[in-house]
Structure 1
Amino acid sequence: MYLVLVLLAVVTFVVLATSRFKLHPFITLLLAAFATAFLAGLPLDQVAATISAGFGGILGSIGIVIILGTLIGTILEKTGAAITMADTIIRLLGQRFPNLTMSIIGYLVSIPVFCDSGYVILTSLKRSLCKRLGASAVAMSVALATGLYATHTFVPPTPGPIAAAGNLGLAENLGLVIGLGLVVAAFTAVAGLFWANHVSDQLTCGEDADDDQDYEALRAQYGELPSPTKAFAPILVPILLICLGSVANYPSHPLGEGLALKLFAFLGTPLNALMIGLGLAITLIRGDKRMEQFTDLIGKGILACAPILLITGAGGAFGKVLSTTEIGSYLGETLSSLGIGIFMPFIVAAALKTAQGSSTVALVTTSALVAPMLGDIGLASEMGRALTVLAIGAGAMTVSHANDSFFWVVSQFSNMSVSTAYRAQTMATLVQGITGITVVYLMSLILL
């Protein structure tokens, strides 16, 4: 019980410090990491090492991806390519439902791409659509984020769901998880879209204040715009490569196990794919002094992503402390003994997600924890195991808050205040998680 009180106290501190007292999130999260380490009894000689490992670990996994995605976005924005993309999307999908457009784009992109990377890559497109259609920046940000989040937690080949499926003995039947996951993800994406529409007229962010010129004036200042092919290539090519890399790494190796596997596995690594995307983005720079322009844009991109990297790293440090102490294991063991069927893995995953921030960690840890118990709770069949993966996925999105890197990616790239992000993004993920487990439960009544 003491550990639960520690967790509640620290989370309350983070929420109040960042929203009410306006303390910078980087310092807040570092203080939260130290406080949790001391209160939860982490040995003093491990505190600094654990915090450093968490900071470095999260930046080691997505730090360069954030930088490259920001650089690509900066070039797309400054060369007018984002304007071209916005015009193309509008021609294809129309102007009536901008939030739906962003949700669909996010839903598709995050099947192979981490939601953090997908949001970074698509930010410039979202901003251009906001300017083009005069839509709510908060609503479009939430629509994009929740669309990405839906498939990120339910649909292989995203690492979390595929690892959970493997832990539950479904490595050879990923098709079942993918098929059911796409359905549940669609419902949760719609739930996120509903919340985006709900807050559309209630919340604003820094992007909404950027109204010093109308869209046509903004478009005209770029002169001749790049073609749609050149404009979309820096985004679509990396996404395609990541897709092919994911397919190549399937357990059944559909592309073979020789040169094709090695090639696509290499090119499909997000870091390598985004480097190729950056190379394609460079071709958008026009004029006589292209190298000088490129250097200038790189400098602007690095300045833009520096605070995001610091906050993301501090969130990783906080999450690492939570996972290193006994808080996560205590919650998991306590909740797993309640005997409530398909809701048990959901509650365990939701508790782990809320405690340590990573959806992937919640998926992997919960699936490993509940795997030996599936027979006792009536979920040992193939279908039962697949539904358990999805119940864990629903828990792993409940909720995204201050210790989740995706929360800070969404809030910082959308120029949202922390309090706005809690009301918009955090509440949206709560709605998504409840929707997800409701759909999974109804599926279990029909399919089991």
Structure 2
Amino acid sequence: MDAVTYAADPVFLLATGAGAIVVLMLLIIRFKVHAFAALTLVSLLTALVAGVATDKVVSVMMSGFGSTLAAVALLVGLGSMIGKILEATGGARVLADTLINRFGEARAPFALGVASLMFGFPIFFDAGLIVLMPILLSVARRVNGSVLHFALPVAGAFAVMHAFVPPHPGPVAASDLLGADIGLLLVVGLPLAIITWYAGAYLYSRYAGNKFILPVPALYQSTDDEVIDNPPSFAMVMTVLLVPVCLIFLDTGLNSIQVAGYIGDDLAWVDTLRMLGNTPVALLLTLLLCLALFTRRFGKVKMEKLCTDSLAPICAVILVTGAGGMFGGVLRSSGIGDALANLLSASGMPVIVAAFVISTCLRVAQGSATVALTTTASLMAPVVSATSGLSELDLCFIVIAIAGGATVLSHFNDSGFWLVSRLLGMDEKTTLKTWTVMETLLGSIAFLLAAGLSLIF
């Protein structure tokens, strides 16, 4: 949403953004103000100080809050129902036992991470994390280990796939804006994403899991130790997990084909398939499948109760995530992110370095990785087109560098920060020391790999 601002001085806008982040950290960490209240207050103050017209302050705040809720609330609600059903009916334990028996307890985090890399090819970060959360926590409870040993490889896998690999919207949009070949970007991005995940998420989780001993959140703690008499089979659980992956692939895969120009944009059958593959619809169909499969085993009353019980604990997750989107929306509408990008775009840095730095600044300023990625690609497109000697591989490396910058330094204005924090039951300080550090490692490693390869090829 566009907003009229009176503070046009870029230095003032940048100082306002930095001050807002400092105030927010003090309120939450030092004074223990609830994150929802702190984010709302700082969003209001930032809009006023940055010069957003007073008659538009509330609408700007509500726009960021509402758009984030629209993207997250359905996914969290439907995903939580699916996860609760899998956990309470023994499905999560079946999958956890199978993984442990086949890979061993020591390799269970690696196995979960590899599974997440496969699931993360078509499925978005938040949807994938929500669906797999009861699985990874069931494994953590089974082996009595720190949740971070299992959560960070899974979350990191979805993060790298979402940022670096088509058919996700960020890399697809960036490649289109810069003129990079999507097929070549897939060939380049996939191995870089895997290497980045192994170094920045899996290996880091070995350290973070030992340093921060995080118990299984209360939301996913079993209320009793009863043995399920008729648990679902491993094949049934995998079917439930793969259905949303396959459905979502209809949307993301067909979108990539349309962008490449292989099929038209106005075909009714394509629109229908893409609608079925839209993440909320895919999760809704998966929930209906869950109900159809498990109602016969456990009854309608229990299924209804499980769905109801799954919603109450996630209200805080949804509200805090929406407030993070509100803060990011205010930073975008105030012009803070644009001011930062404009200062750096004319700095004379090498193209790939400038792309990473601008993307990083936009990421820090407004929170959304996809917005940072696509906005940076738009800003860099004229620079790239005016730079001679760039090969097709160079264009792909620039896209990876932009994606790396859009990944680092996830903090209070990133809805993903709050989603991970609340789902894992972490306080904000611990989330900064674990999730933010991991995201920064992932983005930095990807950039260094892309920059190094650009010097070789």
TM-score by length of 1: 0.93
Residue 243 (structure 1) aligned with residue 249 (structure 2):
yes
Q: 1:230 corresponds to which residue?
A: 236
Q: 2:104 corresponds to which residue?
A: 94
1:402-413 alignment, distance < 5 Å: 402-413=412-423
1:247-266 alignment, distance < 5 Å: 247-249=253-255, 250-251=257-258, 252=260, 258=267, 260-266=269-275
Q: Secondary structure at the match of 1:207?
A: coil
2:343 to 334, 359, 363: 334
* Cα distance between partner residues in 1 of 2:253 and 2:298: 41
Contact 2:404 2:447 in 1 (8 A): yes
Q: Secondary structure at the match of 2:106?
A: coil
Residue 140 (structure 1) aligned with residue 146 (structure 2):
no
Q: 1:44 corresponds to which residue?
A: 54
Choose 332-341 or 284-293, whichever is displaced more: 284-293
Q: 1:289 to 1:395 in 2, by over 3 A?
A: closer
* Cα distance between partner residues in 2 of 1:212 and 1:343: 45
Residue 347 (structure 1) aligned with residue 357 (structure 2):
yes
Contact 1:115 1:145 in 2 (8 A): yes
1:125 to 135, 152, 173: 135
2:22 to 12, 25, 28: 12
1:168-183 alignment, distance < 5 Å: 168-170=178-180, 173-183=181-191
Q: 1:198 corresponds to which residue?
A: 207
Paired residue type of 1:324: S
- Measured after TM superposition, the shift of residue 128 of structure 1 is 0.9
Contact 1:130 1:136 in 2 (8 A): yes
1:420 to 423, 430, 435: 430
Q: How well do the aligned residues superpose, as a CA RMSD in angstroms?
A: 2.3
Residue 207 (structure 1) aligned with residue 216 (structure 2):
yes
Paired residue type of 2:392: E
- Measured after TM superposition, the shift of residue 194 of structure 1 is 1.8
Deviation track 1:209-246 (CA, whole Å, cap 9, x = no partner) reads 899999xx84x522221111222222210111111322
TM-score by length of 2: 0.91
Q: Secondary structure at the match of 1:200?
A: helix
- Measured after TM superposition, the shift of residue 205 of structure 1 is 2.8
Contact 1:4 1:327 in 2 (8 A): yes
Paired residue type of 1:188: T
* Cα distance between partner residues in 2 of 1:291 and 1:197: 42
Paired residue type of 1:134: N
Q: 2:94 corresponds to which residue?
A: 84
| Percent of pairs with identical residues | 31
Residue 275 (structure 1) aligned with residue 287 (structure 2):
no
Choose 149-158 or 5-14, whichever is displaced more: 5-14
Q: Secondary structure at the match of 1:156?
A: coil
Q: 2:171 corresponds to which residue?
A: 161
Contact 1:3 1:40 in 2 (8 A): yes
* Cα distance between partner residues in 2 of 1:256 and 1:320: 33
- Measured after TM superposition, the shift of residue 330 of structure 1 is 0.5
Contact 2:217 2:423 in 1 (8 A): no
Q: 1:88 to 1:15 in 2, by over 3 A?
A: same
Q: 1:383 corresponds to which residue?
A: 393
